Chains A and B, each alone.
Chain A
Amino acid sequence: DGGITQSPKYLFRKEGQNVTLSCEQNLNHDAMYWYRQDPGQGLRLIYYSQIVNDFQKGDIAEGYSVSREKKESFPLTVTSAQKNPTAFYLCASSTTGTGTTGNTIYFGEGSWLTVV
């Protein structure tokens, strides 16, 4: 089945450690995104990538890093510089056309990160 796979579903991290969240898609989508979700605040964009080997900062990129070496993969690293990393992280993807299909963004099942 086509879709977006995020792993792990639950992750615990000690303060001061970096952690990487995996996101893989087999939808052949060019664009990929990372969102952070906090209770009562909706979703906020961390990073996005329109094409392989290129990515841009979103609204809350500080303390995060990404790479886009392959079309199907867009891992997110939460660094020790991120002051409040405990949150639900959602990966998404879409085509980049301007037609009907290109305007729909599909989401993975999310990853819970807890800093202990």
Chain B
Amino acid sequence: AQSVTQLDSQVPVFEEAPVELRCNYSSSVSVYLFWYVQYPNQGLQLLLKYLSGSTLVKGINGFEAEFNKSQTSFHLRKPSVHISDTAEYFCAVKGGYNKLIFGAGTRLAVHP
């Protein structure tokens, strides 16, 4: 069965500092991985996705993630965060029948 573990429930960081949000997955089938962002009281917005090809994936808002098959990881990074990046971030793996299996989420808090 597929599952996703987000290793940090909360990540505090100062503005303009780099950040990494960690995600590990388990899957016995072809791996499709996603990062979504959720701002307060809103739906989820796709940040980036890995389907195949290059292991470094670039997304919106300056985020990128690296797929590491040997470590079963898909960590999200941004070299310099802004106050506006404060949100909850979800890592997800595609399961059967096109379903998404989500991690518990990481709350990123950017401080001035």
Point out residues on A near B: beta carbons under 8 Å. 4, 6, 31, 33, 40-45, 48, 50, 56, 58, 90, 92, 94, 96, 100, 102-110, 112
Asked if residues A41 and B98 are in contact (CB atoms below 8 Å), the reply is: no
CA gap between A110 and B42 in the complex, in Å: 6
Contact of B97 (CB < 8 Å), options: A6, A40, A50, A103: A50
Q: Would you list 5 pairs from A and B whose C-beta atoms are within 8 A, ordered by A residue?
A: A6-B43, A31-B98, A40-B9, A43-B102, A45-B99
Chain B interface size band reads: 20 to 34
- In whole angstroms, how far apart are the Cα atoms of A98 and B43 in the complex? 24
Q: What DSSP secondary structure best describes chain A's contact surface?
A: strand
CB of A100, distance to nearest CB on chain B (Å): 6
Contact between chains at A106 and B104 (CB < 8 Å): no
Query: Which A residues touch B34, using CB under 8 A?
Result: 104-105
Instruction: Say if the beta carbon of B32 comes within 8 Å of chain A.
Output: yes
Supposing A42-B90, A103-B32, A103-B51 touch, asked if A94 and B44 sit within 8 A by C-beta, the answer is: no
Cβ-based interface call for B54 (8 A): no
With A40-B104, A42-B103, A104-B49 given, name 12 new contacts (CB 8 A). Answer: A4-B43, A43-B44, A43-B90, A48-B99, A92-B100, A96-B98, A103-B98, A105-B34, A107-B43, A108-B43, A109-B42, A110-B42
Q: Measured between alpha carbons, how far is A100 from B51 in the docked complex, in Å?
A: 7
Residues of A within 8 A of B41 (CB): 110, 112
